[in-house]
Amino acid sequence: MSATGQARAVTPRQVVAAKGGTPLVCLTAYTTPMARLVDTHCDIALVGDSVGMVLHGLPSTLGVTLDMMIMHGKAVRRGLEHALMVVDLPFGFYEESPEQAFRNASRMMAETGCGAVKLEGGETMAETIRFLTGRGIPVMAHVGLTPQGVNTFGGYTVQGRGKDRDRVLADARAVADAGAFAVVLEKVPEALARRITEEIAIPTIGIGASAACDGQVLVADDMLGMFTDFRPKFVKRYAELGAEASSAIEAYAADVRARRFPAEEHVFGETPKAAPKGDTK
């Protein structure tokens, strides 16, 4: 049973109602096949701007554009029936003013069919969150480590330690008061994540923020072990797909060079034989 307990598409309201119950499950998806996999098991599919680093090889999320997010959003939409689809607003497309945020978020919703947008920032974004939610755009907020602020943070460091705790706490309170339906807490200490989760009325979705949160999110490619050289502490690897894919490609290359592939069963003769199941060509 999922946290929202729904067979039909999950709504932001159901996400709010799941607070304090079975933890909400969220993973990123950027493509239709991954969306199908996520949809079977998760409550929320996040088209994260991490797509820029994960699929496009960018050094940070700062180079991601609205058009990129819309393209991946459309692909993910085709793979979802159940999960709530949330799409990130990319850096530079919402911070200038609430009006800019509304223009781009409404385009995102109209063109991708997403159920909500996510944006980074706490107190400074509260007015924008209020503007969007008051005009029909559900918003998932994101506080703590906000990767679009990597240059002001000076790296992807844990946020909210020591005196900095009050800032992150104020950010979480501000986005909840402004009408966000959930908030991602990224890379904050466990005690702070617990306090925020207890204090605010909306679900906290943790990434590197402990099991004290109301739900969890990870980048799917990270938990599937797609990158052999990227092992953040907060990611549990449930598979080693990167290593497995590398072995498969190595075996293919060896077969081609040794003329073992294609073999007889992969070759077409003059007269058709019974095609294997699934072969439509």
- Give every CB contact of residue 222 below 8 A, 6+ residues apart in sequence: 230, 232, 235, 237
Residues 31-90 that bind ligand KIV (CB under 6 A): 46, 48-50, 88
Closest residue by Cα to residue 148 from 233, 88, 190: 88
**How far from 187 is each of 61, 92, 145, 167, CA to CA, in Å?**
17, 23, 6, 14
| Closer residue to ligand KIV, CB minimum distance, 91 or 102 | 91
214 binds ligand KIV (CB under 6 A): no
Query: For ligand KIV, which residue of 219, 221, 224, 225 counts as binding (CB under 6 A)?
Result: 219
| Nearest approach, Cβ of residue 61 and ligand KIV (Å) | 6
Q: What is the distance of C-alpha 166 from the center of its chain?
A: 26
Total Cβ atoms within 10 A of residue 248? 11
207 binds ligand KIV (CB under 6 A): yes
Point out the catalytic residue in the list 120, 123, 186, 190: 186
216 binds ligand KIV (CB under 6 A): no
Query: For ligand KIV, which residue of 217, 221, 224, 226 counts as binding (CB under 6 A)?
Result: 217
DSSP result, 240-281: -HHHHHHHHHHHHHHHHHTT-SS-GGGS--SSPPPPPTT---
Instruction: Quote the tokens at residue 223.
Output: 């938990």
28 binds ligand KIV (CB under 6 A): yes
Active site residue 186: yes
Residues 235-274 that bind ligand KIV (CB under 6 A): none
Q: Give the contact letters, 170-189, x = binds to ligand KIV (CB under 6 A), - = no.
A: --------------x-----
Closest residue by Cα to residue 216 from 184, 180, 191: 184
Residues near ligand KIV (CB under 6 A) = 28, 46, 48-50, 88, 184, 207, 217, 219
Catalytic residues: 186
